[in-house]
């Protein structure tokens, strides 16, 4: 029937309006900003960078020492609106596996251009960039205030667990599994190297000395 969808919408509005006088469940609005609704697990706004203090060597602030980002620049290349800007370091620092990796000396995101597509998160191989839930980003600085640098983007893994607990737990499990495999391989390689060195030492001791040396 023509207009059936409009009538259904008006009926739902009428139910909520009348029901709001007798049931709190029908109160579909809150007195923002005094009252706020908690965003759901899968809600997303703009990206941020995750850091773990224990993941890196080197000095500097915690956020800088523990950034997971290795400046591979995949997110920069895949970003549809081209709002990510990365500069790679000349030296390397250790990642969570103990591997020497490059790190970003510059990592900027222009949130005035970002369309919150989450492609940067999906293509990141190091679980270093995730989507935030913080949406109150208004500023009177149209250009500088909406260009976030790596320090402004960096947030601890604990914050990631607060806003996306299920997702963060899954990520930590994957990283822990990868680290366990890496540690097992490193331990096996160290044991093989020690065994090889011991065998070489035994072989060297078994070689008879020349007669001239015995005299």
H or E segment to which residue 120 belongs: helix 119-123
- End-to-end alpha carbon distance in the chain: 116
The dihedral sign for the CA sequence 157, 158, 163, 165: positive
Question: Is 90 exceeded by the pLDDT of residue 164?
Answer: yes
Q: What is the pLDDT of residue 173?
A: 94
Work out the average pLDDT over 89-115.
88
More confident residue, 22 or 10: 10
Q: What is the DSSP letter of 24?
A: G
Residue recorded with tokens 């290349």: 77
Edge to edge, what strands does the sheet with 154-156 contain?
Answer: 129-131, 47-51, 154-156
Pairing state between β 154-156 and 47-51: parallel
Give the global pTM: 0.75
Contact 87, 95 (CB under 8 A): no
Contact 74, 59 (CB under 8 A): no
pLDDT digits (tens, 9 = 90+) for 130-151: 999 988 888 888 788 899 999 9
Contact 109, 46 (CB under 8 A): yes
Domain 47-171, CATH class in plain words = alpha beta
Closest CA to 54 of 193, 194, 179, 199: 179
* Domain spans of the chain, in order of start: 47-171
Alpha carbons within 13 angstroms on the beta-carbon side of residue 28 total 9
Q: What is the pLDDT of residue 54?
A: 63
Grade residue 195 by pLDDT with cuts at 50, 70 and 90: confident
Q: What is the pLDDT of residue 111?
A: 93
Grade residue 208 by pLDDT with cuts at 50, 70 and 90: low
Q: What is the pLDDT of residue 139?
A: 85
């Amino acid at each position: 029937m023509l207009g059936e969808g409009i009538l259904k919408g008006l009926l739902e509005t009428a139910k909520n309006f009348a029901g709001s006088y007798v049931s709190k469940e029908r109160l579909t609005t809150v007195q923002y900003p005094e009252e706020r609704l908690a965003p759901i697990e899968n809600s997303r706004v703009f990206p941020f960078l995750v850091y773990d203090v224990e993941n890196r060597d080197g000095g500097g602030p915690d956020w800088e020492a523990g950034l997971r980002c290795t400046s591979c620049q995949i997110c920069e290349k895949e970003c549809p609106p081209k709002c990510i800007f990365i500069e790679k370091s000349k030296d390397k620092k250790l990642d969570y596996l103990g591997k020497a990796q490059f790190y970003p000396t510059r990592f900027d995101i222009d949130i005035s251009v970002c369309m919150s597509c989450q492609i940067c998160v999906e293509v990141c191989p190091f679980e270093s960039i995730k989507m935030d839930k913080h949406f109150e980003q208004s500023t009177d600085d149209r250009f500088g205030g909406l260009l976030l640098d790596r320090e402004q983007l960096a947030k601890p893994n604990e914050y990631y667990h607060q806003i996306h607990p299920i997702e963060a737990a899954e990520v930590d499990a994957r990283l822990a599994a990868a680290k366990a495999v890496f540690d097992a391989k490193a331990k096996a390689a160290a044991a093989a190297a020690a065994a090889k060195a011991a065998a070489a030492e035994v072989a060297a001791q078994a070689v008879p000395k020349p007669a001239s040396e015995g005299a």
